[in-house]
Structure 1
């Protein structure tokens, strides 16, 4: 299991996120639309994971969408929302979680219309839990393409440049009210807090809401705040 991506909710248009992060030296790109959820996004890819800046595009659609991520977006509006982990067998994962007595949404089919009009498809799995100020559990994804096929498509579309693939997310730091309990819960879900491509840490927070608080990139030394999320990035970005 790998970190697939971080979901960061924003109130700005996705194009604005692209502009801001290009000024920090990163090649970000407009993603596309989730027509059934009323949302759209911008994306910043690294060598084996990415950041998704997710915003409401059509409120009337989002409010009617029976989808855990959209519901969390409407609750939080801005700031880091949750993280997604990549698996090669989401059906087997669902069976394991059910065997642990964990209720899930079942495997959900999903798709996104790209800026060029293409359609990207994947499968998702969420734990069934109420949207609240408590730290959301991670959700899971299985892409319809292999990683090599997916990245080749991203290169062809210009969503990722060679320098993007030199960068990586090293750590995700979560602010919670009971770090030990949160760490134990996540270990039971995913087996380890040390994934092959990222480490998860939990620290005590005084904030009302338990959420991801800081994302640390490789060689990150400079803190940047954006839409209530904190990133530790290399001073010159990755361009």
Structure 2
């Protein structure tokens, strides 16, 4: 299993989010709209992951959707929300997770309409848990296309450039009240470890709201704070 993407909730529309990061030397694109959820996003890809800046496009649709991620967005409003892990078989994964004592929501179909009129499709699986100040467990995704095909298509469209392929995450740092307890819970969910094929999660002590605290990239030279999220990033130019 791999890290697929990081979800960062914002009040900033995708065009403004893209402009903010592009002015700092990154390559960020507008993703499109989730018409059934009332949300829209901006995306920055790495070689095997991406960051999603997710915001509400239509509040009335978002309120009616009942979607777990949209509920989380409406609860948190701003800042890092959660992380999504990539699986090749959500039906099998759901059975495995339920066998470990967790209740699941899904798998459910999902899609996004791009600005060029293309429909991107995938499936999602969530853990059935209340939204609160406690650290949310990750959710899971299964893409319609194989990874190789999907990433090749993104390169062809210009969403992934040489710069994007050079962006590698050093650590995802979660702030929690009890790091050992949180790590044990995530390890139980993931079948015995918090180490993925491409990343390992780190848990550090804090008081108060438990969430992803910062994203650290390799070769980081500067801190960038955006919509209550902290990034340690390389310096370009």
TM-score normalized with structure 1 length: 0.96
Q: Does 1:196 align with 2:197?
A: yes
1:1-36 Cα shifts (integer Å, max 9, x gaps) = 000000000001111111111122110000000000
For the residue of structure 2 that corresponds to 1:26, the secondary structure is coil
Q: Is the 8 A contact 1:37 1:61 kept in 2?
A: yes
Q: Is the 8 A contact 1:38 1:60 kept in 2?
A: yes
Give the whole-Å Cα distance in 2 for the aligned partners of 1:87 and 1:28. Answer: 25
Task: Determine the structure 2 residue equivalent to 1:157.
Answer: 157
Shift of 1:221: 2.8
1:165-212 Cα shifts (integer Å, max 9, x gaps) = 121222110011111100100011113222221120011112x21100
RMSD value, Cα: 1.1
Give the whole-Å Cα distance in 2 for the aligned partners of 1:122 and 1:162. Answer: 26
Task: Determine the structure 2 residue equivalent to 1:128.
Answer: 128
For the residue of structure 2 that corresponds to 1:83, the secondary structure is strand
Residues 113-192 of structure 1 correspond to what in structure 2 (within 5 A)? 113-190=113-190, 191-192=192-193
Task: Determine the structure 1 residue equivalent to 2:98.
Answer: 98
Give the whole-Å Cα distance in 2 for the aligned partners of 1:37 and 1:43. Answer: 17
Q: Does 1:234 align with 2:223?
A: no
Task: Determine the structure 2 residue equivalent to 1:215.
Answer: 215
Shift of 1:154: 1.0
Give the whole-Å Cα distance in 1 for the aligned partners of 2:106 and 2:31. Answer: 26
For the residue of structure 2 that corresponds to 1:41, the secondary structure is strand
The runs of 5 or more residues in structure 2 that have no matched partner are: none
Q: Is the 8 A contact 2:100 2:189 kept in 1?
A: no
Give the whole-Å Cα distance in 1 for the aligned partners of 2:210 and 2:221. Answer: 24
TM-score normalized with structure 2 length: 0.97
Give the whole-Å Cα distance in 2 for the aligned partners of 1:106 and 1:168. Answer: 31
Shift of 1:161: 1.2
Q: Is the 8 A contact 2:84 2:138 kept in 1?
A: yes
Moved more, 96-105 or 162-171: 162-171
Q: Does 1:205 align with 2:206?
A: yes
For the residue of structure 1 that corresponds to 2:105, the secondary structure is coil
Q: Is the 8 A contact 2:102 2:189 kept in 1?
A: no
Shift of 1:48: 0.2
Moved more, 4-13 or 96-105: 96-105
The runs of 5 or more residues in structure 1 that have no matched partner are: none
